[in-house]
Amino acid sequence: MTASSTRPVARLRGPAEILAALPTLCGFVPTESILLVSLRGKRRRIGLTARYDLPSAEAPVEEVADVFVGLLSSNQAREALLVVYTEEPGPLPRASLVEAVSVACASAGISVHDALLVRRDQWWSYRCTSPECCPPEGSPLLVEASPALTLLAAESAYDGRAVQGTRAELEASLAAPVLLARASSEQLCQAAETLWAQTVGRAGAQAARTQALGDWAAALRVCADGGDLDNAALAWLAVTAYDLPVRDEVLTWALDEGEALLALLTRIAVATAPPHDAAVCTLLGVTAWSRGDGAVANVALERALRTDPTYRLANLIGAALASACPPKEVRRWLRACARG
């Protein structure tokens, strides 16, 4: 099994290596979750990795199955790997959910290569009962990284993607400021809004946009060099991101300056309080998804939509993510925006 990349290919061999790779693919260690990994082509290259919270025991399993089949079909999967993470007791919990997803996949022409359970530091197979390879007491998760896992982790680090302990930790790492920091952010953003209106009134919209883009470019260089930006500068960038031409131009920078832009947008997001954060969080979501980081993209877009459920770009990108639009399509759209 391989992970798709233009870089050296990480070949994952066997369930233990695959399970050890999933936190890197997800961006955090899954808990009480169901994951489906798309396997494409004859070489079973890893495509989409979709994670959902485990539904309640009373929820219709067919609904979850239908969602997963739709995602796999849009990702052109030939096969899939299904993994359940839970601390629920008993032998092979959620077997009915696993069976429903497997049946729905089969009806869509997608074979479930294996179905695995992860509980604490061990794993089991829902399919295999051979004590030689799948003992009833479970098999231990990998502790030491193999060369393939080391390569996968290095690629993730190169892309600026950190693996969080849980999804809650990922959300916390991208959370808005609170208490006194929130009050300060609101004041700075209000001042930035006033300055933007004055600049547009004095020099005109085009001149204001040119100035804003110059400030964005300067901040990007500072961020790329590891420098600091004060909160007033971050508030100004957050406010100017609501201007559509400024926002759309900055978006195209993800093509050539993705790492620095992701770092800059993260700084702005964690320094900016609602209701001024929807635009920058959307920029962060698009940039993260263009680089293949669906975990950060989802968290950023969820935050944007909590602030403003009507923000159009966040809704469009959120819908694309939900339909398993691959990162290469996001990059293709950004290239079209750059040419336009």
Predicted confidence (pLDDT) at residue 261 exceeds the cutoff of 90: yes
Please compute the mean of the pLDDT values over residues 246-254 and round it to a whole number: 94
Predicted confidence (pLDDT) at residue 150 exceeds the cutoff of 90: no
Predicted confidence (pLDDT) at residue 12 exceeds the cutoff of 70: no
Distance of CA 268 to the CA centre of its chain: 18
- For 152-192, write each residue's pLDDT tens digit: 444 444 444 555 557 788 888 889 999 999 999 999 999 99
- As a whole number of angstroms, the distance between CA 95 and CA 34 comes to 12
So what's the pLDDT on residue 149? Answer: 42
Q: Which of 23-27, 220-224, 256-260, 267-271 has the lowest mean pLDDT?
A: 23-27
Count the alpha carbons within 13 Å of 48 in the hemisphere toward its beta carbon: 26
Please compute the mean of the pLDDT values over residues 44-50 and round it to a whole number: 73
Mean pLDDT, rounded, of the chain:
83
Predicted confidence (pLDDT) at residue 134 exceeds the cutoff of 90: no
So what's the pLDDT on residue 3? Answer: 41
Predicted confidence (pLDDT) at residue 224 exceeds the cutoff of 90: no
Report helix angle 95-107 to 61-74, nearest 10: 40
- For 78-122, write each residue's pLDDT tens digit: 888 899 999 998 889 999 899 998 998 888 888 888 899 999 888
So what's the pLDDT on residue 145? Answer: 55
Rounded to the nearest 5 degrees, what angle is found at the Cα of 41, between the Cα atoms of 37 and 46?
30
